């Protein structure tokens, strides 16, 4: 129980965020296009601006992985009693409902929706029941969890956006340099 229950958070994260790594950047624009018109209008005239690149997703998932890994270690260290572990476990479980709600709202697939009901929720329910049976008190706090995990999520997206922007600038600068090299080489001949 001491290792298995906290480790289940890592398994759940790997499945759900692995799905997001594989599908998010490719499916997000389609999901946004399927939103009901009143919600789509909240995005303004350019809903495609809300999409994220593959690099953004990679950095964001890695950043969230640091948080989830630290929470799982806290869970092992405290035998599941740590507030940090319990907060992250609770919010990660609850976030599955967001994926499923998004799929219902868009009437189609959204990234993370396949593993939410099949992995994230069952693992979360199992972990909570094991902790309860072991007499571990529920010390999680939804407001604290939202503050901690939500802040980390903002950081993950900010780092992802910076990495994506740097990648684009590097690609553009590299393309410009290669074009300049070809032009210069043409002048030398």
Q: What is the pLDDT of residues 7-35, one digit of tens each?
A: 999 999 999 999 999 999 999 888 988 98
In eight-state DSSP terms, residue 50 is: G
| 8 A C-beta contact, residue 128 and residue 120 | no
Q: Which pLDDT score is estimated for 47?
A: 66
* Residues of the chain below pLDDT 70: 45, 47-49, 167-189
Residue 153: name the closest of 166, 161, 25 by CA: 161
Q: How high is the pLDDT of residue 170?
A: 60
Helix (H) or strand (E) holding 185: helix 142-188
DSSP state of 48: G
What is the length of the chain?
189
pTM of the model: 0.84
Distance CA 49, CA 43 (A): 8
**pLDDT score recorded for residue 168:** 67
- Choose among 111, 89, 95, 99: nearest CA to 30: 111
């Amino acid at each position: 129980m001491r290792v298995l229950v906290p480790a289940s958070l890592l398994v759940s994260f790997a499945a759900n965020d692995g799905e997001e790594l594989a599908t998010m950047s490719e499916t997000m624009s389609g999901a946004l296009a399927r939103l009901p018109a009143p919600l789509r209008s909240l995005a303004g005239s350019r809903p495609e601006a809300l999409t994220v690149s593959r690099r953004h997703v990679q950095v964001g998932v890695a950043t969230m992985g640091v948080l989830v890994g630290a929470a799982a270690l806290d869970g092992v260290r405290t035998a599941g009693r740590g507030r940090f572990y319990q907060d992250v476990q609770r919010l990660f479980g609850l976030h599955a409902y967001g994926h499923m709600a998004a799929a219902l709202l868009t009437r189609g697939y959204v990234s993370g929706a396949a593993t939410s009901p099949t992995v994230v929720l069952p693992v979360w329910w199992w972990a909570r029941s094991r902790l309860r049976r072991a007499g571990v008190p529920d010390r999680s706090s939804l407001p604290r969890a939202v503050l901690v995990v939500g802040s980390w999520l903002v950081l993950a997206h900010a780092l992802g956006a910076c990495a994506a922007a740097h990648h684009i600038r590097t690609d553009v600068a590299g393309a410009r340099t290669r074009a300049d090299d070809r032009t210069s080489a043409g002048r030398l001949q």
